[in-house]
């Protein structure tokens, strides 16, 4: 006698319970029995739905406070049974396990827990590592021919519609099944990456000493795992013919202290170039947001095409802006500006009608916000920061794609201690130059190589970025500085290979050159500086940025 077909089942076990009730109601209306766990089961019962607990289906109670509940053949047998094979279908029926043909699972929010401030104790963080959830997701995705796996609430409506049109789960087409399975594998991949990256940072971290390159190398991860989720498709890439999208690292979504988590007001949506330039601008502004210059706590950075065209520290914010703008007012047209402290009305009025793509700050005085937003296409980004001041830039790991692989390195702002530096010329560095020298090095490190930065006090007056010739970078910086180059402090990101760069610097007006040294022609370069009456300091630290 032919047996009646077993009713299909849906397994619902979600941390994010958005829209789970209407999804479950829709499945019940389509003839599904609902199987569930813990909090999800309670939510569905409170909505009046009949739900079978997983422990009832397995015949085994949840153990260890729910640590083990779904890891059982009564669950994973139906998930992994290849129903298109007669022997699998027969075996499943003999076991008395009805098929599970829809699974909705999303995972404990480990990535969000990993970025909590203050950090979670290690034991609490480890409890946020989901075990049963990823196993359910992977098993269902592997057997997507027979199981529809849904990991995002946004997909519930698609699945219900497909089930209705197909008159049952068996008729749902392969394109949707594959799309859902791919999303599932992407989720578990990103989840594992977030765990590995977080524990690498917690358990290994970064070395204390900037000198210990071998120690730093030993702390680089043995495997690099990259996982990010697409948040939005951008209008286009660097150029109109290029497609582009913004992807978010695990845990960064909604994290307001990051660039991608910033609140955006006004103007069009951020573009690919806006984000790229904003990242460069924010990085330098953070690099200058330290206590090294207590007399000038306000930082302003102006960036155009990923290079600083002006940077300054000031006793007041509007003074810092005016000095940064004076460095290269022509290039500042269409730029991005970052302030490390709340924007005041005085600063907003100083910006005036200048065409600025983006302004970034930890916050804005209300009247300053109103004034800045009076320009229709100007975007304001608020990047939440403790104490209403940007956090300093710390050592981090950065990666860069190349064809067939990746490069990874440690990166941190340069820290120059005067007592460790060698003045190599007859003319000595004045003690008063120490602050200017440290400031110049911080800016120079963020300028594309070959880079030359001229400063007066704590403000740039000329920047020569991204040149294939160092002497040409000096010429550009000197031309932009003009008369303000007289008696300036000049920083170079790498050594001068020939005396001509020093000669050009002296002709522009530099009285102190700060450079790494290390050229085979160092003696010739020093002799040229002595002949021109220029002081020169060797730092021993190159600052290339490619």
Catalytic amino acids? 142, 305
Three-state SS at 104:
strand
Partners of 150 in beta bridges: 104
Report how far residue 439's alpha carbon sits from residue 260's, in angstroms, rounded to the nearest whole number.
Answer: 27
Separation of alpha carbons 252 and 198, rounded Å: 13
Q: Which two tokens stand for residue 236?
A: 């286009």
Please tell me the distance from the alpha carbon of residue 220 to that of residue 462, in angstroms, as a whole number.
Answer: 37
- Sorted by sequence, the CB contacts under 8 Å of residue 121 that are 6+ apart come out as none
Distances (CA, A) of 297 to 312, 341, 527: 10, 9, 38
Query: Which of 235, 122, 141 shows the shortest CA–CA distance to 187?
Result: 141
Torsion angle defined by CA atoms of residues 324, 513, 504 and 509, in that order, rounded to the nearest 10 degrees? 60
Per residue, the 3-state secondary structure of 174-191, as one string, reads: HHHHHHHHHHHHHHHHHH
Question: Rounded CA gap, 114 and 485, in Å?
Answer: 48
Beta strands 535-538; 512-515: pairing state: parallel
CB 310 within 8 A of CB 302: yes
End-to-end CA separation in angstroms for the chain: 76
d(CA 35, CA 41): 8
Taking CA atoms, 484 is separated from 80, 283, 443, in Å, by 74, 26, 18
For 200, the 3-state DSSP assignment is helix
Q: The tokens 């939005």 sit on which residue?
A: 232
Structural tokens at position 312 = 């300054």
């Amino acid at each position: 006698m032919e047996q009646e077909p077993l009713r299909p089942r849906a397994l619902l076990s979600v941390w994010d319970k958005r829209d789970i009730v209407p999804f479950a109601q829709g499945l019940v209306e389509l003839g599904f029995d609902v199987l569930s766990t813990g909090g999800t089961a309670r939510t569905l019962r409170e909505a009046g739905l009949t739900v079978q607990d997983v422990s009832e289906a397995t015949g085994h109670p949840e153990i260890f406070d729910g640590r083990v509940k779904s890891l059982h053949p009564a669950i994973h047998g139906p998930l992994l049974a290849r129903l298109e094979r007669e022997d699998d279908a027969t075996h499943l029926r003999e076991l008395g396990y009805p098929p599970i043909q829809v699974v909705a699972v999303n995972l404990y929010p480990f990535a969000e827990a990993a970025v909590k401030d203050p950090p979670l104790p290690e034991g609490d963080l480890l409890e946020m590592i989901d075990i049963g959830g990823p196993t359910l997701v992977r098993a269902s995705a592997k057997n997507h021919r027979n199981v529809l796996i849904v990991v995002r609430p946004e997909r519930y409506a698609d699945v219900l519609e497909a089930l209705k049109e197909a008159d049952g789960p068996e008729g749902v087409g392969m394109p949707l099944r594959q799309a859902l399975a791919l999303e599932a594998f992407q989720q578990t991949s990103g989840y594992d990456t977030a765990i590995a990256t977080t524990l690498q940072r917690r358990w290994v971290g970064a070395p204390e000493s900037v000198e210990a390159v071998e120690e730093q190398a030993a702390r680089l991860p043995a495997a690099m795992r990259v996982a990010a989720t697409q948040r939005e498709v951008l209008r286009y890439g660097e150029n109109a013919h290029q497609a582009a999208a913004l992807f978010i690292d695990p845990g960064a979504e909604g994290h307001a202290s990051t660039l991608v988590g910033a609140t955006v007001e006004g103007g069009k949506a951020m573009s690919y170039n806006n984000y790229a330039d904003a990242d460069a601008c924010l990085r330098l502004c953070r690099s200058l947001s330290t206590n090294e210059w207590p007399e000038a706590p306000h930082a302003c950075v102006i960036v155009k095409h990923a290079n600083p065209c002006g940077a300054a520290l000031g006793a007041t914010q509007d003074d810092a802006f005016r000095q940064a703008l004076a460095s290269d007012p022509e290039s500042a047209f269409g730029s991005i500006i970052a302030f490390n402290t709340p924007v005041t009305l005085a600063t907003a009025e100083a910006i005036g009608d200048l065409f600025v793509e983006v302004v970034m700050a930890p916050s804005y005085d209300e009247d300053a916000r109103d004034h800045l937003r009076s320009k229709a296409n100007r975007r304001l980004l608020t990047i939440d920061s403790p104490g209403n001041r940007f956090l300093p830039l710390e050592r981090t790991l950065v990666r860069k794609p190349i064809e067939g692989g990746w490069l990874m390195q440690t990166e941190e702002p340069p820290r120059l201690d005067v007592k460790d530096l060698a003045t190599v010329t007859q003319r000595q560095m004045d003690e008063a130059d120490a602050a200017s020298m440290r400031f110049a090095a911080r800016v120079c490190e963020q300028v594309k190589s070959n880079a030359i930065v001229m400063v007066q006090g704590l403000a740039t007056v000329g920047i020569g970025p991204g040149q294939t010739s160092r002497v040409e970078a000096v010429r550009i910086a000197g031309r932009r500085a003009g008369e303000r180059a007289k008696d300036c402090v000049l920083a170079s990101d790498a050594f001068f290979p020939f005396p001509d760069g020093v000669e050009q610097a002296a002709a522009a007006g530099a009285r102190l050159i700060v450079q790494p040294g290390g050229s085979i022609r160092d003696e010739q370069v020093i002799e040229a500086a002595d002949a021109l009456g220029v002081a020169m300091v060797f730092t021993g630290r190159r600052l290339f940025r490619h």
